[in-house]
Amino acid sequence: MRNVLPAIAALLLVGGGCLNAGVEVDSTTESKVEAEQMIIGAVEGTVDTEVNVEAGAGTVIEVEGGAEVEANTKAEVIVSITSSGFSPASITVEAGTTVTFVNNDTIPHWPASNPHPVHTTLSAFDSKGKVQPGDSYSYTFTDEGTWKYHCHLRPGLTGEVIVE
């Protein structure tokens, strides 16, 4: 299993069945990001396979401890942005994986490819502006390679995505 499991939102709806982490997402949930954070907290360490399926308000998720799940979808990896940086700071993913950068800090951040300040290594990987606290920015990595990035507003905060 890849080094990305702590950062995966594991949601799966399979032909009428539900994969569930005991988290109920209802109309009071403010955003998909909030729902993903609730789910990650509930299933962290219990899912043996990397999966993701978009789920909206009203979806109920249940996971039996240690259950293995297979899905024909690409993973969505969640990277948390905090005052101390990106977590995890280095991830390895398959080509076609979407990485979502969730701002869990109290101040804005701006994920973008290196080098600072021009973002030309992978120019499409640039949020093109501030990601406010509680918001997120997603990018689908399709090209193999090691893609280093930083926070444009705080260039000392760095990370890398290794695409295989």
pLDDT of residue 74: 57
Answer whether 0.85 is exceeded by the pTM. Answer: no
Give, in order, the Cα–Cα distances in Å from 48 to each of 9, 31, 82.
Answer: 12, 26, 26
Is 60 exceeded by the pLDDT of residue 159?
Answer: yes
Beta bridge partners of residue 131, listed in sequence order? 109
Mean pLDDT value of segment 64-82: 64
Output the CA angle 157-148-85, nearest 5 degrees. 20
Task: Report d(CA 83, CA 80) in Å as an integer.
Answer: 10
CA 37 to chain centre: 10
Q: What is the pLDDT of residues 98-133, one digit of tens each?
A: 999 999 999 999 999 999 999 999 999 999 999 999
93: tokens are: 């993913």
Helix (H, G, I), strand (E, B) or coil at 139: strand
Is 90 exceeded by the pLDDT of residue 78?
Answer: yes
Mean pLDDT value of segment 73-83: 85
Confidence grade of residue 49 (pLDDT, cut at 50, 70, 90): very low
